[in-house]
A and B are shown apart, each in its own frame.
Chain A
Amino acid sequence: MTTRGTSNGEAEPSGQGGKAAPAKRHEPEVPRAAVALPAEGVVLAERLSETLDSHDIEFGAAIDEVVCTVPADRLIDICQQLKDDPEFGFTYLRLLTVVDYLEQDGEFEVVYHLFSLANHHKMVVKTRIPERGASLPSVTGVWRGADWYEREMHDLFGVVFDGHPDLSPLVLPDDFEGFPGRKSYPLNDYGEW
């Protein structure tokens, strides 16, 4: 298996031209993207921390978006509140995705990008789940548009969305084995068919 790039710290042999990767050397600290929340983002972050029961919610920001990391068991309640409360009005689910951090800390991160047309603001909700029994409640009851996103993520990462109406394979063949979205799934290591 060859893994090009993306390896954090641990230098792996590179598959390109059989050249061995340089031995571990002192890497400078990786710079982080600067946070530049717009004015309405700052207001939204304040309102969120006041309104939500925030003892176990982690607030942050990524470039121009407010980020809330919530525990998986409160996900549905918080999403429903974000949608129904006219102050937030997040009626539009832009994107749902899973990021694989199994190699780093054995967890998946599920990311929800929300947008409110009425109030014209945006935010990101995140939740982290461990690999073992990777499951979390489905948000299809809150936004119907989550349907295919969750099916696709179930195909590619093996994350189970409890309460989803139909988690049958969407983008992969019905008899496909393995979770090709995960970092541990090799990219080039397939046989002929």
Chain B
Amino acid sequence: MVNPANLADNQASSQPGTVDMMVNMGPQHPATHGVFRMELRVDGEQILDLVPHVGYLHRGSEKLCEHELYSQIITLFDRFDYISNFNNELVIVAAVEKLMGVEAPPRAELIRMIMCEFNRIASHMLFYGTFAIDMGAITPVLYNFRDREKIQALFESVSGARMMHNYFRVGGIKEDVGDDFVARALALCDDLERGIDETDRLLTVNEIFVERTVGIGVISGEDALDWGLSGPVLRASGVPYDVRVDEPYSHYDEMDFGVPVGSAGDCWDRFYLRILEARESISIIRQAIALMEPGDTMAQIRRIARPPAGEVYAHCENPRGDLGVYIVSDGGERPYRLKVRPPSFCNLQALRDLTVGHYIADVVVILGTLDIVLGEVDR
């Protein structure tokens, strides 16, 4: 749409000039990774302003949660961030356990950790592939999907579902893993290590890839904190904030792993950080498997959880960032109020700051590195 005010100016001065243009992007656009719309004001190819529009997937999930039993809420959490279901299940289960003051048996906690770390790798795998597609590289996604499918197959053997597992329970897990689980998981770790190395070789120092990502969408650590960013997006800007280390849950305090931190805060850092992070996840899985001992997988609690009155905030490190949940309980079988802290939602807020001044093609790249899931942004 031509801005009439600018047109009038140009005509008045009778000098040849440019006119700002409004470009609509989405909601049905392959590069937005879901239903997300952006209104771009551009001068030629350059972004002058960007207005994000979300809410196309709003289902009122938080209100739905307030009308369900705690055990039923787990299925709703599966559907927030549908790329990393286990990580989502963990946070609601952890919150209710914290409120009730119960702990899952060590074996259950370790299995949860292993599942969450595998899910982190699966989520990052999807990111590498789709991010490469965003920049026109079609090949890597095929390799990434091949590896991701192996993780999904392991999930299926454990929980019965490729996605939407509904496997974690308040006080433990639904059932113990099969006898062949440890052997399968260890073999999968080796496979994934090879897959991550492959992606690393294909993309990280590829000349075109570097041209498209280095110095694009830079955000300083201070701004990133001010915007409430979290996860790889925050750490790429040099802020070493990881819930697994800062407020350890499960058995993360017993694990020996590094938290990769970037320095430039650009798209390349955000990409490479996820490669490093996936390698750390493999190391965590191997350590957790070594600690596994036979035992119970469910604590002795009431079948229908009935936490005491009070309020609780619990959070976990999701592949996308700091996923939290705030529950206000009145002592009933259903929460009085439930609010999710969605990492994608917070990360997406910074999109305008990241993109202004860059070109239209960079918007796709910058949005790709934020790695949003619209199911979680809109809830």
Question: Which residues of the partner chain B approach A111 to less than 8 Å between Cβ atoms?
Answer: 326
Complex CA–CA separation, A7 to B286 (angstroms): 47
Shortest CB distance A59–B (Å): 15
CB closest chain-B residue, reference A187:
B67
Shortest CB distance A18–B (Å): 17
Q: Is B354 an interface residue (CB 8 A)?
A: no
User: Are B226 and A30 in contact (CB-based, < 8 A)?
Assistant: no
Stretch of B57-65, B126-134, B295-303 with 4 or more beta carbons under 8 angstroms from chain A: B57-65
Q: Is A180 an interface residue (CB 8 A)?
A: yes
User: Are B331 and A124 in contact (CB-based, < 8 A)?
Assistant: no
User: Within the complex, which residue of A31, A143, A148, A171 is in contact with B309, where a contact is CB–CB below 8 Å?
Assistant: A31
* Interface range, B side: 35 or more
User: Are B246 and A33 in contact (CB-based, < 8 A)?
Assistant: no
Shortest CB distance B315–A (Å): 7
Shortest CB distance A179–B (Å): 11
Complex CA–CA separation, A138 to B17 (angstroms): 40
CB closest chain-B residue, reference A8:
B330
Q: Is B227 an interface residue (CB 8 A)?
A: yes
Question: Which residues of the partner chain A approach B66 to less than 8 Å between Cβ atoms?
Answer: 6
Complex CA–CA separation, A91 to B315 (angstroms): 18
Complex CA–CA separation, A180 to B307 (angstroms): 26
Residues of B42-87 at the interface with A, using a CB-CB cut-off of 8 Å, are 54-55, 58, 60, 62-64, 66-67
Known contacts A91-B225, A124-B313, A145-B226; A171 and B54 CB within 8 A of each other? yes
Complex CA–CA separation, A146 to B332 (angstroms): 31
User: Within the complex, which residue of B101, B228, B307, B332 is in contact with A145, where a contact is CB–CB below 8 Å?
Assistant: B228
Question: Which residues of the partner chain A approach B308 to less than 8 Å between Cβ atoms?
Answer: 30-34
Secondary structure at the B interface, as helix, strand, loop or mixed, is: mixed
User: Are B55 and A171 in contact (CB-based, < 8 A)?
Assistant: yes
Q: Is A100 an interface residue (CB 8 A)?
A: yes
Question: Which residues of the partner chain B approach A143 to less than 8 Å between Cβ atoms?
Answer: 226, 228
Shortest CB distance B106–A (Å): 21
CB closest chain-A residue, reference B222:
A91
User: Within the complex, which residue of B58, B332, B378 is in contact with A6, where a contact is CB–CB below 8 Å?
Assistant: B332
Question: Which residues of the partner chain B approach A187 to less than 8 Å between Cβ atoms?
Answer: 63-64, 67
Shortest CB distance B223–A (Å): 8
Known contacts A31-B309, A33-B309; A113 and B326 CB within 8 A of each other? yes
CB closest chain-B residue, reference A83:
B226
C-beta contact mask, A160-188 vs B, less than 8 Å → 1, else 0? 00000000011111000000110001010
Question: Which residues of the partner chain A approach B329 to less than 8 Å between Cβ atoms?
Answer: 33
Complex CA–CA separation, A34 to B311 (angstroms): 10
CB closest chain-A residue, reference B336:
A6
Complex CA–CA separation, A140 to B229 (angstroms): 15
Q: Is B241 an interface residue (CB 8 A)?
A: yes
C-beta contact mask, A78-122 vs B, less than 8 Å → 1, else 0? 000000000000011111010110000000000101000100100
User: Are A63 and B315 in contact (CB-based, < 8 A)?
Assistant: no
Shortest CB distance B367–A (Å): 16
Complex CA–CA separation, A181 to B307 (angstroms): 23
Complex CA–CA separation, A99 to B335 (angstroms): 12
Known contacts A6-B330, A147-B349, A148-B345; A94 and B310 CB within 8 A of each other? no
Q: Is B372 an interface residue (CB 8 A)?
A: no
Q: Is A5 an interface residue (CB 8 A)?
A: yes
Q: Is B21 an interface residue (CB 8 A)?
A: no
User: Are A145 and B55 in contact (CB-based, < 8 A)?
Assistant: no
Shortest CB distance A56–B (Å): 22
Q: Is B239 an interface residue (CB 8 A)?
A: yes
CB closest chain-A residue, reference B325:
A95
Residues of B279-311 at the interface with A, using a CB-CB cut-off of 8 Å, are 307-311
User: Are A63 and B312 in contact (CB-based, < 8 A)?
Assistant: yes
User: Are A33 and B312 in contact (CB-based, < 8 A)?
Assistant: yes
User: Are B313 and A113 in contact (CB-based, < 8 A)?
Assistant: yes
Q: Is A62 an interface residue (CB 8 A)?
A: yes
Shortest CB distance B280–A (Å): 20
User: Are B332 and A117 in contact (CB-based, < 8 A)?
Assistant: no
Interface centre among B328, B335, B379, by most chain A C-beta atoms within 10 angstroms, is B328
Complex CA–CA separation, A93 to B58 (angstroms): 23
User: Within the complex, which residue of B60, B98, B333, B337 is in contact with A99, where a contact is CB–CB below 8 Å?
Assistant: B337
Shortest CB distance B324–A (Å): 6
Complex CA–CA separation, A147 to B58 (angstroms): 18
Complex CA–CA separation, A143 to B227 (angstroms): 7
Residues of B311-351 at the interface with A, using a CB-CB cut-off of 8 Å, are 311-313, 315, 322, 324, 326, 328-337, 339, 341, 345-346, 348-349
Q: Report A's interface with B, CB cutoff 8 A.
A: 4-6, 8, 30-34, 62-63, 65, 91-95, 97, 99-100, 111, 113, 117, 120, 124, 143-148, 169-173, 180-181, 185, 187
Q: Report B's interface with A, CB cutoff 8 A.
A: 54-55, 58, 60, 62-64, 66-67, 98-99, 101, 225-229, 239, 241, 246, 307-313, 315, 322, 324, 326, 328-337, 339, 341, 345-346, 348-349, 378-379
In the complex, the 10 A-B pairs of residues with the closest C-beta atoms, listed nearest first = A145-B228, A33-B310, A30-B331, A5-B334, A171-B55, A31-B308, A97-B339, A171-B58, A95-B341, A33-B308
